[in-house]
Structure 1
Amino acid sequence: MAHLDGSHHVTMSVGSAQEDVDFHVRTLGLRFIKRTVLFDGSTPIYHLYYSNAGGDPSAVLTTFPFRQAGLMGRRGTNQAREVLLAAPSGSLDYWSGRLTERGVEVADAEVLDRRRLLFRHPCGIEYALVGVDDDPRVGWTEGGVPAEYAIHGIHGIGVHVTNPENMVEFTTGSLAAKDLVEEGDRVALQVGSAARGGAVELVVNRTDDPGTWRYGEGTIHHFAWNAETLENQDELKFEIEGLGYTDISELKDRKYFKSVYVRSPGGALFELAVTHAEGGWTCDESPKELGSAFQLPEQFEDRRAELLDQLEPIDV
């Protein structure tokens, strides 16, 4: 039976490249694992990747820095809005201090009977650090964060919707979500393993206007689920189309993983991703060298000098 093994990655449109690196590497202590470019369109845009120690599926955050191109997004309802990250449950006091010291405004909250810290990316995207127990994923410690506090990976995604019913139907029927819990204006479900970032939180939002779906600074573009194998991915696509959700793409090769994209009825763009069998992150760099060089897919290699000249320099 087709299935999803939790999350794979989350991709955002952010501001400047250096601002983004500073936030994810120097503030959150994540590992910088890849610098490449956006595959779609003709405008040169970086595609930057961050993760935990192992670059695990379910621990990868990727960004498109769009400030240089001048394209702005609008946060609103009917889109993914909240990046939920998993940190050790005893680490949140440490993180509150670390974020505050680095000029990040932090709010303490209890959501779904669990403590979390609320803060924002410099471009405005909403983040939450959720305290979790017994997470087997290993945080990155070479960024200055001790092992007992280091971020494990993704906890899940928060999607703002005008009404949650269609998204509950979609996630339970197409993504095999389970364990539905309601708290106030929030409906929480679980896709695959909790230890692999499978939380989906649907937030009822009838105040904001609909947010943008295109690329644009300050917005989440898509959230990717781990389909594990190409055979399973193909079966999932077949099942989702059979339920009537036909706004779904053909297979796209993203070099490090292969992807199918589906627009959910709540507006959020979801991806079914399979890490490339021929090496994944290490197909062009050794595990120790991840993120050290500017990597390009073959179709862009003859434009390397042009792209380097046009893109913002980054100090990692």
Structure 2
Amino acid sequence: MAFVEGSHHVTLSVAHAQEDVDFHVKVLGLRFIKRTVLFDGSLPIYHLYYSNANGDPSSVVTTFPWAQAGFFGKRGTNQAREVLLSIPHDSMNYWHQRLTEHDVEVTDIERFGQRRLAFRHPSGIEYVFVGNSDDQRVGHTGHGVPQEHAIHGLHGVGVHMTTPDRMVEFASESFFSQGQLAEEGDVAALQVGNQKYGNHIEITVNRTDDQGTWRYGAGTYHHFAWNVATLENQDEVKFGIEGQGYTDISELKDRKYFKSVYVRTPSGALFELAVTHAEGGWTCDESPQELGTKFQLPEQFEDRRAEIFSQLEPISI
């Protein structure tokens, strides 16, 4: 029987590479696990990866820095919007102070009866810290973040759309939703898969913003990836989605560290069905201790290594 296990990673179109590294590594304390390039197209663009301590699926944030190429997007409705990250419930005060000390504007909000923290990536993308008391993923203790406050990984994805019923229908009939968890005002929360963490979809009814862009462009969400565990299950999930009439779905793409299929959902958000490579995942080209220290390229770009590297922004950790 087909299933979605939980989340896998999120991919964002950000602005400049160094400010992205500084934000995720030096402010949020995430582990820098991979520096490579965008596999699609011919334009050299970094693909940067950050994670919790163990690089767990459901903990990874990846980014494409587009400002150098002059590509900018527009946040709006019918688009994925919020990066929801899981932290310990008791860590809200710590993170409010740390973000403020790093000149990141942070706002206390309440959602579903619980305190959250809302802030933004330097490129404008919206982030939210969500408290979870039963999250066993191990956070990374980078740049002074203590273990008891470290980020566990993803909590889920926030999506804005004009017609939420269509997304609820897709989630329940084609994407293994466990049903609606909560509803508050214009926001409804769903859970996909059986894990207790990392697999939430929060749908915001948004009929005031203009349509957001879907192409690559700094300042926007690109896609949210779900872990479907095996290639056989990936096929079953894909065929099930297509069988419901959602035919805006890609062929299998080999991303070196995982194999992926992409589907455009009724919300406008792009979802990925990901399977970590059986040949090693993040450690197929670097040891666990070396992760993120070497510039990696897919085989088809190796003969252009010097050219590509010379065109990318220099970054330091």
Structure 2: runs of 5 or more not aligned: none
1:142: Cα distance to partner?
Answer: 3.4
Q: Is the 8 A contact 1:99 1:105 kept in 2?
A: yes
Distance (whole Å) between structure 1 residues aligned to residue 252 and residue 195 of structure 2: 27
Give runs of aligned pairs for residues 73-84 of structure 1, distance below 5 A. Answer: 73-84=73-84
Instruction: Please provide the CA RMSD for this pair.
Output: 0.8
Partner of 1:204: 205
Partner of 2:308: 307
Partner of 2:278: 277
Paired residues, number: 316
Partner of 1:96: 96
Partner of 2:67: 67
The runs of at least 4 aligned residues of structure 1 exceeding 2 Å deviation read: 193-196
Partner of 1:123: 123
Aligned amino acid, residue 199 of structure 2: G
Give runs of aligned pairs for residues 39-78 of structure 1, distance below 5 A. Answer: 39-78=39-78
1:84: Cα distance to partner?
Answer: 0.1
Q: Deviations over 1:223-248 (max 9, x none)?
A: 00000111110000010000000000
Distance (whole Å) between structure 2 residues aligned to residue 195 and residue 280 of structure 1: 23
Aligned amino acid, residue 117 of structure 1: L
Instruction: Give the alignment's TM-score, normalised by structure 2.
Output: 0.99
Distance (whole Å) between structure 1 residues aligned to residue 202 and residue 232 of structure 2: 28
Aligned amino acid, residue 208 of structure 2: T
Partner of 1:216: 217
Partner of 1:191: 192
1:29: Cα distance to partner?
Answer: 0.2
1:63: Cα distance to partner?
Answer: 0.1
Q: Deviations over 1:236-273 (max 9, x none)?
A: 00100000000000100000000000000110000000
Does residue 247 in structure 1 map to residue 225 in structure 2?
no
Structure 1: runs of 5 or more not aligned: none
Aligned amino acid, residue 225 of structure 1: W
Task: Name the CA shift for 1:90/1:194 in 2 (closer, same or farther; >3 Å).
Answer: farther
Secondary structure class of the residue paired with 2:166: helix
1:107: Cα distance to partner?
Answer: 0.5
Partner of 1:19: 19
Partner of 1:268: 269
Q: Is the 8 A contact 1:31 1:143 kept in 2?
A: no
Partner of 2:154: 154
Q: Deviations over 1:60-107 (max 9, x none)?
A: 000000000000000000000000000011001000000000000000
Distance (whole Å) between structure 2 residues aligned to residue 85 and residue 295 of structure 1: 27
Does residue 290 in structure 1 map to residue 285 in structure 2?
no
Distance (whole Å) between structure 2 residues aligned to residue 283 and residue 144 of structure 1: 29
1:193: Cα distance to partner?
Answer: 3.5
1:195: Cα distance to partner?
Answer: 3.4
Distance (whole Å) between structure 1 residues aligned to residue 41 and residue 186 of structure 2: 37
Aligned amino acid, residue 102 of structure 1: H
1:194: Cα distance to partner?
Answer: 4.4
1:30: Cα distance to partner?
Answer: 0.2
Distance (whole Å) between structure 1 residues aligned to residue 79 and residue 116 of structure 2: 21
